[in-house]
Amino acid sequence: MRSVLYLIRKFPGESANETIDLMLVSGVFEQPTSVVFSGDGVWQLLGDGSKIERKDTSRALNALPMYDVESLYVSEESLAKRGIAFSDIDIPVKAVSASTVTELLHNHDVVIGD
């Protein structure tokens, strides 16, 4: 089965919810699935959208491992640039360097952006 990498680079919002649904589907169908949060996409790992009439995506993101999506990564450069501490993230992601992100982009069969 082809491996899929979801590359999340956008602020939380409409497209975030749809992309999370896609990830869950990939996982359910046992497709090897990884997710990289980079750039403004790292903001999706923080906050509670339900406070401003948005969906709270943290529950869905936390559920990913149960759907067999266990490889969640966040770019440490993107966090540092925005002054976000890794310890503030409540979602089971692994902090990785830019060169690891490059590797991940190249060693998956399909890359899907948001």
Q: Report how far residue 35's alpha carbon sits from residue 23's, in angstroms, rounded to the nearest whole number.
A: 8
Of 31-60, which residues contact another protein (CB under 8 A)?
38-39
13 near another protein, judged by CB under 8 A: no
Tokens of 98: 């830019």
Which CB sits closer to another protein, 45 or 108?
108
Q: Rounded to the nearest whole angstrom, what is the least distance from the CB of residue 91 to another protein in the complex?
A: 22
Stretch that binds another protein, among 23-31, 44-52, 83-91, 98-106 (CB under 8 A): 98-106
Tokens of 109: 């069969």
β partners of residue 94: 73
8 near another protein, judged by CB under 8 A: no
**Where would I find the H helices in 50-97?**
58-63, 76-81
